[in-house]
Amino acid sequence: MSNITITRHGTVLQLEFARPEKKNALIGAMYDTLRHALHEADASTDINVIVISGAGGTFTAGNDIGDFLGHRGDMAANPASRFIKALAAGQTPIIAAVQGQAIGIGTTLLLHCDMVFAAPDATFKMPFTDLGLVPEAGASLIVPARFGIAKATEWLMLGNTFGAEEAFESGLVNAIVPHEDLITHALGMAQRLAAKPRSALRATRALMRPNQAALQSHIDLELQTFAAALASPEAKAAFMAFMTKKK
C-alpha cells in the first residue's frame, strides 16, 4: 500500500520506489515506510547494507506536489521531513541505483548515500528555487562543501539539470553502469560491503561523517526556511503554475 517494495538479499535490504505510473513521485506513506525501514536496519543485527532503487525506469520525480501541499501543520512533522532527518542520522551504509529522473529529494537523498551508481540515462535536478523554495536534506551545506560554490550555484540556485557524466565527473556518482546491469551491479557492491565486519564498517562510516549535530541543526534551519518560503506569494504562484501545467 505504501508503494515501496522491500526485498531482502541476505544481509542486504533493497528499498524500491514502486509508483511508476507517477514516475515514483513520493507521498507521505512512502516516506513513512522508508523511515521505518531505515530505523529497522539500524536496529537489526542482520541488515548490513541498504540499496535504494526505482521501478519502471525512473528513480523518483521527487515529492508528489499534490500530496505535499495537502499536508497541514508543523513542517517538522511532515513525513518527508521526518524521513530526511532519519536518513541523515542513519548508521547503515546505503547504496543508490539511479536510472531516469532523480528530481528534488531524488537527488538530495543521494548526498547521504555511501555509493551511487547511475545508468547512462540518469538525470539529476534540484529545482527548489524554481518553486520559490529552498534546498532540503542538508543540501545547502553538503553541496558547497563537496562540490564547491560554483557547482552549488549551478545546481541549487540555477536549478540546472545535469546528467550522469557530470554527476560522475563531479563525484556525486561512483560509476556509470549500463541500464540492464545497474541493479545487479549495485546489489553486488552492497554484498561486498555487507561481507565486511559490521562494527568496523559502521565505525568507519561514522568517522567519515563527523559533525552530525551540526548537520542536523542545519537541516532544521533549512526546514524552518522552507516552511516560510512555502507560505510566500512566490511559492504559491510557482505551485499554481506547476499544477496548471500538469493538467
DSSP letter at 156? I
Write down the pLDDT at residue 1.
Answer: 56
List the 4-9 sheet strands across, edge first.
4-9, 12-17, 49-54, 94-98, 115-118, 175-176
59-86 exposure pattern, b = at least 16 Cβ within 10 A, e = fewer: bbbbbbbebbeeeeeebeebbbbbbbbb
Lowest mean pLDDT across 78-87, 155-164, 179-188, 238-247: 238-247
Write down the pLDDT at residue 73.
Answer: 64
Name residue 72's beta-bridge partners.
none
* Longest alpha-carbon distance in the chain: 52
- Report the alpha-carbon distance of residue 103 to residue 108 in Å, rounded: 8
* pLDDT of 189 over the 90 cut: yes
Q: What separation in angstroms does the CA of 24 have from each of 46, 58, 184, 210?
A: 28, 7, 20, 32
Which domains does the chain carry? 4-194 (3.90.226.10)
Mean pLDDT of the chain: 94
Write down the pLDDT at residue 104.
Answer: 97
What is the per-residue pLDDT across 135-168, written as a single tens digit (0 to 9) for each?
Answer: 999 999 999 999 999 999 999 999 999 999 999 9
With cut-offs at 50, 70 and 90, classify the pLDDT of residue 93: very high
- Report the alpha-carbon distance of residue 183 to residue 151 in Å, rounded: 28
Classify 148 in phi/psi space as left (phi over 0), alpha (psi -120 to 50) or beta: left
Q: Where are the beta strands (DSSP E) in 21-161?
A: 49-54, 94-98, 101-103, 115-118, 123-125
* pLDDT of 51 over the 60 cut: yes
Q: What is the mean pLDDT of residues 85-97?
A: 97
What percent of the chain has a predicted confidence (pLDDT) above 70?
A: 96
Write down the pLDDT at residue 236.
Answer: 80
Write down the pLDDT at residue 27.
Answer: 95
Write down the pLDDT at residue 67.
Answer: 76
Q: What is the mean pLDDT of residues 175-180?
A: 98
Write down the pLDDT at residue 72.
Answer: 62
* pLDDT of 117 over the 80 cut: yes
What is the per-residue pLDDT across 190-221, written as a single tens digit (0 to 9) for each?
Answer: 999 999 999 999 999 999 999 999 999 999 99
Grid cell in block for residue 230: 512555502
- Report the alpha-carbon distance of residue 202 to residue 225 in Å, rounded: 32
With cut-offs at 50, 70 and 90, classify the pLDDT of residue 86: very high
What is the per-residue pLDDT across 59-78, written as a single tens digit (0 to 9) for each?
Answer: 999 999 877 676 666 788 89
